[in-house]
């Protein structure tokens, strides 16, 4: 329609521009996967949160010497789930 409106002639392609059933199914699968992962991100977010907390806890222990490490671990917030 755009081409016809501005040039006066209809555009005809030399290759088929329609989508096959396989392409539609692949696109639908990707859209559903992204949509579900966006609506229900809880399992992956929780596992990443716990991993980050553990890394930060270990980093705090290794950065301080022996006398400060026990105080740093005791004062760091820990989440018991």
Per-residue confidence in pLDDT tens, the chain, 81 aa = 777 788 877 777 788 888 899 999 999 999 999 998 888 877 777 888 888 999 999 888 887 755 454 445 555 555 555
Q: Please tell me whether residue 44 adopts helix, strand or coil conformation.
A: helix
Whether 76 contacts 63, CB under 8 Å: no
Give the predicted TM-score (pTM) of the model. 0.42
């Amino acid at each position: 329609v755009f081409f016809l409106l501005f040039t006066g002639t209809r555009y005809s392609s030399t290759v088929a521009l329609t989508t096959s059933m396989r392409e539609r199914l692949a696109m639908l699968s990707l859209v559903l996967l992204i949509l579900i992962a966006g609506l229900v991100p809880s399992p992956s977010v929780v596992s990443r949160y716990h991993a980050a907390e553990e890394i930060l806890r270990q980093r705090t222990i290794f950065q301080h010497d022996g006398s400060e490490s026990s105080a740093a671990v005791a004062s760091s917030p820990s989440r018991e789930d």
